Structure 1
Amino acid sequence: MGMQWVNHNGNIVSYGGLIISPSNRAFRYGDGIFESIRFANGIPLWMQFHWERLIKSLKVLQISVPESWDEEFFTNQIILLCQKNQFINARIRLNIFRQDGGFYKPEVNDGSFLIEASPLQHPQYQLNEKGILLETYTQITKTKNILSALKTNNALPNVMAANYAKSKNADDAILLNDSGNIAEATSSNIFIVKNGKYYTPSIEEACVDGVMRRVIMEMAANHQIQMYDCALSLNDLFDADEIFLTNAICGMKWVLGFKEKRYYHQNSGKLMSLLNSVTFTEDV
């Protein structure tokens, strides 16, 4: 790979040439939000859903952005960056953060952005050949509040949960909420399948309001698939026939095991095929 480029406030600069101030609030306080976006065949996927979540998140964090920063603007900024990097398929990270100034109390509420891209091999989502193994992380729980559904720059619980999973030779870990119910995995929403019906934690259970979660649920509703968002406990994992994880980059990942329990992935595979069909050939 040659020189890699990033997009900082509309200016495309080399990765090594990017200068971020030591007083950057994303660095100092995690004062910002981000979107992980799959870029396929020259366009960002599900951009409307990403933009709608961004707008909601910015309002919660009280970060102001110019009127010109709309869905079309960021779509074009992503495309320009990928063209500069010569990426047809890519993983995009769009980060919007409060501008420098102040300590905990900001001096201004204006936003800045940084877009990064890294190449992906395939445009379509690829179901993992080998199922993943899950552990449960219990040292930190997700608190149900106005931030719990957002993808903020402060992801320490997710980092610590992922590190814990690694120490247990697992691939991922489940985070619980302060009621002891399932919230999510470290970088994904979680679904279970039981007797042909699908279940996922509701937003009220402190999970991130995932874009792929929304895609899967709307797709299910439009294809007569029974899917419910509700409270789920760890016991529900032991009763499940299948478990899969979702995020905007991978689409879906099927789970092989949780503790001593082992799972199938027949329904997960069919749903992944439907996801690719819906994404690349039809509307949700």
Structure 2
Amino acid sequence: MINFNGTILAEKETFLTPNNRAYNYSDGLFETIRVINGKIMFWEDHYFRLMASMRILRMEIPMSFSPEFLENEILQLIEENKLADQSVRVKINIHRKEGGLYLPTSREIEYIIRTSTLENPFYTLSEEENTVELFKDHYITSGLLSTLKSTNKIVNILGSIYAEENDYQNCLLLNEKKSVVEALNGNLFLVKDKVIKTPPLTEGCLNGIIRKKLLQIIEKTEGYTIEETPISPFELQKADELFITNTIVGIKPITKYRKKSYTTHTAKNLLAKLNTKARLD
């Protein structure tokens, strides 16, 4: 079952038309959320990121869209799908109501909420091979719009196809300045000695929730220095560790880039702190 504008529908029911603006013009956003036994992880951060993104895209936010309203919509759908005692991935899609061409006839929105199950209740460190390469066919444009979780992810799609065709598990994306911005599915962190770097939002990387949480954690972790600074491709092979972050996996180490293999000591340390923060927030 899904939630479409507050109505619970069977997933196979037709509820979108060919005139949908997200389909035609990528006039939409999405938010991916982790829910554990009925608790939404980092809900306040997800909610405010979604509201800020809607404002940036000049969408009309309904008066009813309070944190309490959306939280209730999510939890009701989880209950309807009999997932209340499980680990759940929730995806919220927001799109502008249909009508118009590039210029919409309305700034009002519609929303869809979907659920699927997750394997683990909290974050675990993957020991799977995770070999990456630079994706250089197309670039992320630095600037505010690239920081949003919009429905325009064509560079990530093409990068994913490139990774599959060349037997990589992931790719790192570049911006027009040839700086490393992020991975296909999350933010990038680089560790060298005790300095941890991640690209600033001005480089065009996603304004990730786990990125934000790790910045807070690292600032309070003795022995490490955090820097939000552009990352050159030349730094990758000099790093001790590289890892990717997103809401679903938490922290995923990169095991190999070209001839360089990486350790996971810092990732393991930070993952434990992230799980603690997830329980307490």
> What's 2:212 paired with?
214
* SS across alignment from 2:255: strand
Say yes or no: does 1:98 pair with 2:92. Answer: no
* SS across alignment from 2:19: coil
> What's 2:54 paired with?
58
Counterpart of 2:11, as a letter, is Y
CA contact (8 A) 1:131 1:253 kept: no
Hey, what's the Cα distance between the residues in 2 that align with 1:137 and 1:25? 29
Q: 1:125 aligns with which of 119, 123, 126?
A: 123
Hey, what's the Cα distance between the residues in 1 that align with 2:218 and 2:96? 37
Shift of 1:113: 0.5
> What's 1:47 paired with?
43
TM-score by length of 2: 0.96
Q: Which 10-residue stretch deviates more, 17-26 or 241-250? A: 17-26
CA RMSD of superposed structures (Å): 1.1
Say yes or no: does 1:37 pair with 2:38. Answer: no
Q: Deviations over 1:8-67 (max 9, x none)?
A: 111111111242111111111110111111111212111111111111111111010212
Hey, what's the Cα distance between the residues in 1 that align with 2:3 and 2:157? 25
Say yes or no: does 1:72 pair with 2:68. Answer: yes
Shift of 1:217: 0.7
Hey, what's the Cα distance between the residues in 1 that align with 2:214 and 2:250? 9
Q: Which residues of structure 2 form unaligned runs of 5+?
A: none
Equivalent residue pairs, number: 278
* SS across alignment from 2:114: strand
* SS across alignment from 1:116: strand
* Aligned residue runs from structure 1 range 136-155, under 5 A: 136-155=134-153
Shift of 1:228: 1.3
CA contact (8 A) 2:143 2:203 kept: no
Hey, what's the Cα distance between the residues in 1 that align with 2:15 and 2:200? 40
CA contact (8 A) 2:144 2:202 kept: no
TM-score by length of 1: 0.95
Shift of 1:131: 3.5
> What's 1:11 paired with?
7
Hey, what's the Cα distance between the residues in 1 that align with 2:72 and 2:253? 33
Hey, what's the Cα distance between the residues in 1 that align with 2:210 and 2:14? 31
Say yes or no: does 1:20 pair with 2:19. Answer: no
* SS across alignment from 2:121: coil
Q: Which 10-residue stretch deviates more, 217-226 or 250-259? A: 217-226
Q: Which runs of 4+ in 1 moved over 6 A?
A: none
Shift of 1:89: 1.2
Hey, what's the Cα distance between the residues in 2 that align with 1:53 and 1:20? 25
Q: 1:192 aligns with which of 190, 193, 196?
A: 190
